[in-house]
Structure 1
Amino acid sequence: MSDSELEPSRLGTKAHWDSVYEQEVANFEDTGDEGEIWFGEDSVEKMVDWALENISPASDLSILEVGSGNGTLLFALAEAGYNVSCLAGIDYSADAVKLAQMIASTRGGEKITFSQCDFLADLPAPPLAKTESVGSWDLLLDKGTYDAIALGEKDAEGRSPATPYPERAARLLKDGGFFLITSCNFTEEELKAAFATPLTGLKYHSRVKHPSISFGGKSGSVYATIAFQKSV
């Protein structure tokens, strides 16, 4: 369904995620539990595999995860050989950032940059950037954040808070840069309609296959993982 058709949910509020990560910080401090992996380990592996197939870790690429949570995806990229000094994660929850930083200290990922940032309001700068943050990123990653934003309260005109997201993502990418997103609320076609537009300059690049399920005589995947590339 489109973002305008989604009903607002607590999952779309900062208060919810602040509460979640406050508890996960406490759990990590008590037991070392790193917290929930959003969409599971398989989604992380598939996104890392896509990156390895399309963007060589040999280059010092600037990679940003939007809504990085506990940092699992970025840690997996570091383990796959990507330069930790070029990896960054942002989250609007301070405790999510705190959790990721604590986990990083146990995984040798201290050089990964985790910072508190509202993606729709702030301009995150690449760790090694010598230029402005606009048009500075080689790869943007999203694993469920667009979904969560789309569950926020609509404005007075009925527009979803996720409406400006696609143009925002495109604005941060370098020409030729990639945007890789995994979603459970939107189908492949819906993601294409939202992101591959004349305003963004993004074009569909590829998709990642997920296991298919059948229900009521119809088949489909629980998740959609789609890559877009910004026009040169």
Structure 2
Amino acid sequence: MTAVVTELPPSKLGTKEHWDDVYHEEISNFIDHGDEGEVWFGEDTQEKMVEWALANVPPSPDLSVLEIGSGNGALLFGLLDAGYPARCLAGLDYSSSATQLAEIVAVLRDGEKISFTTSNFLEDDPLPLPNSVSPSGGVDRWDLLLDKGTYDAIALGVKDEHGRSPAINYPSRVARLLKPGGYFLITSCNFTEDELKANFVTSETGLVYHSRIQHPTYSFGGKSGSTCASIAVQKPLPAA
């Protein structure tokens, strides 16, 4: 089974220009009013992701955690507040304005500095954490990869000449960058749990389903659902 990304129409939410404008405005708001910016999907969802991390990938000196599309850094700052060492945390975003905002907030928070870089996840390998040692092949691999809305935005990007969403390449990138035994935790508002499983748990990625986060549900017209979905998948350890 290979990934089949649910077709979503292209939107400005899938463009770099949109996010550059959003975070440029948030920088101005932070400078003028001290507002660190929006917590994407809300503080409750972020707290649930931090709780999941604490239960499944607890803080340790040698841990490596990367958020894909880190925006203003809110989720990584949440992990920092929960006891994860800053030297173990990294964020990347293809918007330089987002990276700039996260770095400004980090400076004013004092303490050790989280690594924030401007990078396109679909095209570039993330920069390694300071003092990390790349395995053979030169690609740093991570204990935990996090996504809170980035896959959604990528899926809203302009399709290629074959009509494929840029998100089609995302799951294989995740699998490539995970350490054996490592986890990928994703929260989405555009994809259901079943769709996320179908896209990430495939023969191509080799990833396996691990767990889910329960979000508040609502009922309408005899059906129930949630405003977002979160699942975790894992890269299996090599067979003994």
TM-score range, shorter chain: over 0.9
Alignment check: 8 A CA contact 1:12 1:149 kept: yes
State the alpha-carbon separation in 2 of the partners of residues 134 and 183 from structure 1: 27
- What amino acid is the match of 2:156? L
How far is 1:83 from its partner?
1.1
- What amino acid is the match of 1:13? T
How far is 1:4 from its partner?
4.3
Matched, 1:184 2:186: no
Deviations 1:32-84 (A, max 9, x none): 11111110101110000000011121342100000000000000101111111
- What amino acid is the match of 2:226? S
2:27 aligned residue: 25
From 227, 231, 236, the counterpart of 1:226: 231
Alpha carbons of 1:168 and 1:50: their partners in 2 closer, same or farther (altered >3 Å)? same
- What amino acid is the match of 2:26? E
1:173 aligned residue: 178
- What amino acid is the match of 1:84? A
1:131 aligned residue: 134
Farther off after superposition, 26-35 or 9-18? 26-35
Deviations 1:9-50 (A, max 9, x none): 000000000000111111111111111111010111000000
1:207 aligned residue: 212
From 75, 78, 87, the counterpart of 1:76: 78
From 33, 36, 39, the counterpart of 1:37: 39
1:101 aligned residue: 103
Alignment check: 8 A CA contact 1:192 1:204 kept: yes
Alpha carbons of 1:4 and 1:218: their partners in 2 closer, same or farther (altered >3 Å)? closer
- What amino acid is the match of 2:32? D
Percent identity over paired residues: 64
How far is 1:109 from its partner?
5.1
Q: Flag structure 1 segments of 5+ consecutive residues without an equivalent.
A: none
Alignment check: 8 A CA contact 1:184 1:223 kept: yes
From 140, 145, 151, the counterpart of 1:146: 151
Alpha carbons of 1:58 and 1:110: their partners in 2 closer, same or farther (altered >3 Å)? closer
SS in 1 for 2:143: strand
State the alpha-carbon separation in 2 of the partners of residues 189 and 103 from structure 1: 36
TM-score after normalising by structure 1: 0.96
Alignment check: 8 A CA contact 1:101 1:110 kept: no
SS in 1 for 2:166: coil
Alignment check: 8 A CA contact 2:172 2:205 kept: yes
How far is 1:5 from its partner?
1.9
SS in 1 for 2:36: coil
State the alpha-carbon separation in 1 of the partners of residues 222 and 6 from structure 2: 27
State the alpha-carbon separation in 1 of the partners of residues 94 and 145 from structure 2: 16
State the alpha-carbon separation in 1 of the partners of residues 200 and 111 from structure 2: 31
- What amino acid is the match of 2:206? G
Runs of 4+ in 1 over 6 A off after TM superposition: none
State how 1:193-204 maps to structure 2 within 5 Å.
193-204=198-209
Matched, 1:49 2:51: yes
How far is 1:223 from its partner?
0.7
Alignment check: 8 A CA contact 2:144 2:178 kept: yes
From 38, 60, 63, the counterpart of 1:61: 63
Number of residue pairs matched by the alignment: 231
SS in 1 for 2:204: coil
